[in-house]
Structure 1
Amino acid sequence: MNEMATEILIVGGGLSGVAAALAVAAAGRRVVLSEALPWLGGQLTAQAVPPDEHPWVEYQLGSRSYSQFREKIRQHYREHYPLTPAARADTRLNPGAGNVNTLCHEPHVAAAVIEQQLAAYVSAGRIWLLRGYEPVAAECTGDRIDSVTLRNRQVGHDIVVTFDLVIDATELGDLLALAKVEHVTGAESQADTGELHALEVADPLDQQAITWCFAVDHLPGEDHVVARPAGYDHWRRIQIPSWPGPQFSWTVSDHVTHRPRVRQLFDGEPDQVWAWDLWHARRIAARRQHADGFFTSDITLANWPQMDYWAKPVLGVDDESAQAAMAEAKEVSLAFLYWMQTEAPRPDGGQGYPGLRLRPNVTGTHDGFAMQPYFRESRRIVPEFRVLEQHIGVEARGSAGAAETFADSVGIGAYRIDIHPTSTGRNTVDIDSYPFQIPLGALIPARVENLLAAGKNIGTTRITNGAYRVHPVEWSIGEAAGVTAAQAVQRRTTPRAIRNRPSELLVLQGALTARGVDLRWPSFAALTPTSRSGWVEA
């Protein structure tokens, strides 16, 4: 066992952890960043989910550093891929030409760009990167966390890290559980939150579906059928109680209306420029944008409603049960792939697409599946300030109009409230919300003094998490946490004191503004609801 001391510890190397580390290092402070998986980037890389973004992202609203990150991804393609002249000249290059957003790309490219952004700080010793390490214990005294034990299970090595301040940027709020920080899971009740779409009775085990994504291309005439999964017959017949038919079907429940909706794998040719089918939703490599013959097929990222695993929760249960649920989630995705390869009805009257081929070299794994499931929700802190549906929901706000304005804003975001089927069989909730702010109070636990939440673990409810959980918002939350942590360490204060002392809050907001962080929405966007129109399920 080794011991290590640092000013700031960031546990979790997803988008929020990366953004936080960059902000801390840029402020001249020392930070340790730990990540259990081989890739940094979380939902964008290890979970293999191309960005879900707001309609104004190309106007570089939100965070300058996030916009720069997006442009570095585009530049990576221009420098290293044989793009067509038209694609290379496109200032808004969309490498996969997917229609979920304007920047669909391969997860390994984002992972490479993240490494490039961190490299100089790592060399300078400002960021000490611990790869393969996950939190397994935390020591606390009163309302402070004194140390976190990080373990590399592969080599059997522990490091005990002491710090002034710690940021929990894990995918599931792991540090909250280890340090016994007050938190909630699942669904709150209407009596608690007053939200229109909350459950009547709170249920901590009512949690959103997780999805184990995979990458595939399509080679007609070839046979790449996977081995029949052991549980195939079970998953083939399973049906969400509120769905119109079996989950393995081209007919799903519409996210908004809950009416039957047919969505085929292909609507025309796989490599056509545009289509509202499953294939084009998260296409991450479009062969038509590259030199003739370079790609033998488009590549798409499978993250579709038929793959949602809602049978069992993964939070608030013992580790063995959580691992079993995740194993079942992976089998559901594999079973759906097998169904598509062998039984899925085709427009020509035939069955199956045996040419669908898993792409391990795209996901960085041995089997073509992501390194971990796509988690849509986490443990959430009991915060100093909680974001409710009444603050951002169009219906909930009624005549009040635009989202609530927060005096302690540390960033902005925009996305509709999008909740997938849950582990109790509840159908989707998909409602309009206004572009919103990120209040600092939602990052600060109600009790613990030297912890900041940075990710899906902030003080939202299960309802508002459905809008705050997407890529650019997670980045902005992490960036705000990093700048706050750096100021707290430099000025020997706490995040709570920064929020509650006007002079300290003004310094923080000035530092964020200097980094190019927008703290409020311009008037042309503030009253424009973000809705399902033009978007694809996330």
Structure 2
Amino acid sequence: MPTELSTEILVLGGGLGGVSAALAAVRLGRKVVLVEELDWLGGQLTSQGVPLDEAPWAESLITSQSFAALRAGIRKHYQDHYPLTPRARADLLFNPGMGNVGTLCCEPAVAARVLDGLLAPFVSSEALIVLRRHRLTGCTTHADKIVAVNVTNLEDGTQIVISAALAIDATETGDVLAMADVEHVLGAESQSETNELHAITGPADPLDQQALTWGFAVDYLPTEDHTIDKPTGYEAFRAIKLDFWPGSQFGWTVSNHVTHEPLERRLFAGDTDDEYVFDLWHARRILYRRNFLPGAIASDITIANWPQIDYWLRPAVGVSPEEAAIALDEARRFSLSFLYWMQTEAPRHDGGVGYRGLRLRGDVLGTSDGLAKQAYFREGRRIRAEFTILEQHIGVEARAGQRAAELFPDSVGVGAYRIDLHPSTTGRRDTVDIDTYPFEIPLGALLPIRVDNLLPACKNLGTTRITNGAYRVHPVEWSIGEASGALAAFSLQKMVPPRAVRQNPARLLDFQATLDRLGVLRRWPTFDALRPGSRRGYRPPAQ
């Protein structure tokens, strides 16, 4: 017989949005159960191996204060436990990897430890129960509510039926939405439906989804040979080409997506002291050996999460389990094929061929094979919400004559990222890279049109596929989850469904005041648009 468990708030998914939702709810005095399929919490930052990708103002503390605590905790972990050089130890903006994608590129294993530390006091007090290695297997619904969910322990096969007053979907691809028959959207909307400048023409296509990426970690020991076995399908993968790229996917060197400029992006520019080298190796470097005392670290470590391993051959969401398994297996072999190409065929920076000293580092990703624990899904199912965020609300071109994103009276958080879409699984659409203004998260985008006791906590909120490209990154996901966790707690306190908070102006103001007390930023200062290259620093507003 299944074990039964009851709680006030059930968070399904332990990515950044799930963690922040649980943290906000327990901080507001509620009982929470958090369910995660993997052994690590953190999602894209940890299990998927994607270093923090943030706005130019990441170091200004203009952010959720709980997210700032996560960032500070990561730096403190290195200061407390690693043999830093005096210079690195004195650097208030210490960047462990000196990766040029952001100002805090760290090892996924370190981020996982820090996230556990943020939740630890609430686990000890029994306000929070964390069920790791448990998979969602079913939902029971009645009328417009989720009554209970079934989860299975992946270690021993035991089943638990969990009931809760409110449920939060923090799964990576919006699994609860499908399982509970919650109205949702998948893939690309039609331009005729949304009137967005960059939406697809013709009918909507649920299988037109952004490429996913299965990342891996490597270091480089030039005097050694760590060449992997040739992956099955290598020759076919090596020859893959999209019409809008200048060469095969492995071999092309010009990418508007990676550089935002027509610059050559080399694989590896060589071992250098330069702080900012524009090659793939330095893009997502998570450990820079010169930050540590001589001899402590043998090599830099980098995360391969690059366009060359974008997997777009077939969709993995909204298809049968068998089709999804095929897609994910291909994605893994596709990534390993690029590593094999780098080891054996890639043109070297010194004129040779192949970097045989590239070594998989699964230890920093918590795996034995060197690949991340799971693929990085850039999009999944999105709720049909009371309010849908459109390109017209945040895109610079779509807001001609405006100087900022739409101001939402029901704002419950902020975010800042360009609209960044990778090639689609239909193979017909190139990357989409659109200037945006720093934007807000409206409460209406967190409210399903029908179901009363479910909230989204990550990229499954009410965006379109276009705006999802700006709302999917780490700090925005954290803020979405934090708002949903706080909303769930507030709704229980007031004994009203979440949508009633938005419907009543006085209640909305009361909830926003609660967010303010939690340290949630709901309005941006005046900043310039996020234009090409603006990730790396603040741009003063135009006068």
Range into which the TM-score falls when normalised by the shorter chain: over 0.9
Q: Deviations over 1:15-37 (max 9, x none)?
A: 00000111111111100000000
Q: Deviations over 1:32-79 (max 9, x none)?
A: 000000100000000010011001111111201101110010000000
Matched, 1:264 2:266: yes
Shift of 1:271: 5.9
Q: Which amino acid aligns with 1:88?
A: R
Coordinate RMSD, CA, aligned? 1.3
Shift of 1:347: 2.9
The residue aligned with 1:184 is 185
The residue aligned with 1:295 is 297
Q: Secondary structure at the match of 1:405?
A: coil
TM-score (normalizing by structure 1): 0.97
Shift of 1:447: 0.5
Is the 2:260–2:532 contact (alpha carbons within 8 Å) kept by the matching residues of 1?
no
The residue aligned with 1:370 is 372
The residue aligned with 2:502 is 499
Mapped to 2, the partners of 1:321 and 1:439 lie a distance apart of 35
Shift of 1:534: 4.8
Q: Deviations over 1:460-503 (max 9, x none)?
A: 00000000000000000010001100011111111100011111
The residue aligned with 1:446 is 449
In the TM superposition, what are the counterparts of 1:159-308 in structure 2 within 5 Å? Answer: 159-201=160-202, 202-255=204-257, 261-269=263-271, 272-308=274-310
Is the 1:250–1:264 contact (alpha carbons within 8 Å) kept by the matching residues of 2?
no
In the TM superposition, what are the counterparts of 1:390-401 in structure 2 within 5 Å? Answer: 390-401=392-403
Is the 1:380–1:457 contact (alpha carbons within 8 Å) kept by the matching residues of 2?
yes
Q: Secondary structure at the match of 2:257?
A: coil
The residue aligned with 1:467 is 470
The residue aligned with 2:484 is 481
Shift of 1:410: 0.3
Mapped to 2, the partners of 1:298 and 1:510 lie a distance apart of 45
Structure 1 residues 368, 257: CA separation in 2 closer, same or farther (over 3 Å shift)?
Answer: closer
Instruction: Choose from 359, 378, 385 the match for 1:357.
Output: 359
Structure 1 residues 258, 437: CA separation in 2 closer, same or farther (over 3 Å shift)?
Answer: closer
Is the 1:363–1:370 contact (alpha carbons within 8 Å) kept by the matching residues of 2?
yes
Q: Secondary structure at the match of 2:141?
A: strand
Is the 2:270–2:349 contact (alpha carbons within 8 Å) kept by the matching residues of 1?
no
Between the two proteins, the alignment pairs up a number of residues equal to 533
The residue aligned with 1:25 is 26
The residue aligned with 1:513 is 516
Q: Which amino acid aligns with 2:531?
A: S
Instruction: Choose from 361, 375, 381 the match for 1:379.
Output: 381
Shift of 1:242: 1.5
Shift of 1:258: 9.1
Mapped to 2, the partners of 1:64 and 1:334 lie a distance apart of 38
Q: Deviations over 1:390-411 (max 9, x none)?
A: 0000000000221001011000
Mapped to 2, the partners of 1:361 and 1:256 lie a distance apart of 27
Unmatched tracts of structure 1, length 5 or more: none
Aligned residues: percent identity? 59
Mapped to 1, the partners of 2:4 and 2:282 lie a distance apart of 49
Q: Which amino acid aligns with 1:363?
A: L
Matched, 1:97 2:98: yes
The residue aligned with 1:411 is 413
Q: Secondary structure at the match of 1:315?
A: coil
The residue aligned with 1:531 is 531
Matched, 1:140 2:141: yes
Mapped to 2, the partners of 1:504 and 1:303 lie a distance apart of 43
Structure 1 residues 399, 499: CA separation in 2 closer, same or farther (over 3 Å shift)?
Answer: same
Shift of 1:349: 2.3
Is the 1:245–1:252 contact (alpha carbons within 8 Å) kept by the matching residues of 2?
no
Is the 1:252–1:305 contact (alpha carbons within 8 Å) kept by the matching residues of 2?
no
TM-score (normalizing by structure 2): 0.96
